[in-house]
Amino acid sequence: MVRYSLLRILIFFGFLLLFWLIGLRNNPVLLLGASAIASAAASYILLRGMRDEVTAKLVERHEAKLEAKQQVDPSSDEYAEDAEDSQGEEGNGPTRDVDATGAASTDDTPHHTER
C-alpha cells in the first residue's frame, strides 16, 4: 500500500516537473491542476496491477476477519447461550421473552394485563 502511494506521488511530481519545463510555471493553478489530472490518468493505467494486488489482499484480510468472528469459542458466554437456546427449543426448560431493555422473563411467571 505504501509503495503504491509513493509511486502515485512520484508520478504526480514527474508530471509537475514536465509541465513546469513546458512552460506552465507562470500559472500555478493550471500547473497543479494539469499535473493532478495527468497523474491520475497515468496512475490508473500504469498501476492497475499493483492496485488489483492490494485490493485482493484487503479482501482476503476482511474475509479472514469475518470467518474468525463467526467461529464460536467453546469457553465463551456466547457458546453457553447458544447451548441454552438449543435446550429451550427442545422443551427441556422454560422459554424466555426478552423486552426492549434486554430483561428476560420466563413463561412460568403470571402475566398481568391492565385494561
- Kindly report the pTM of this predicted structure: 0.53
pLDDT in tens, 8-65: 999 999 999 999 999 988 999 999 999 999 999 999 999 999 999 989 999 999 998 8
Cell of 69: 468472528
Q: Which three cell numbers stand for residue 13?
A: 511530481
pLDDT tens, 94-110? 555 556 666 655 555 55
Give the residue among 70, 67, 12 at the shortest CA–CA distance from 44: 12
Closest CA to 108 of 99, 100, 97, 98: 97
CA 104 to chain centre: 34
Residue 60's contacts (CB-CB under 8 Å, 6 or more residues apart) are none
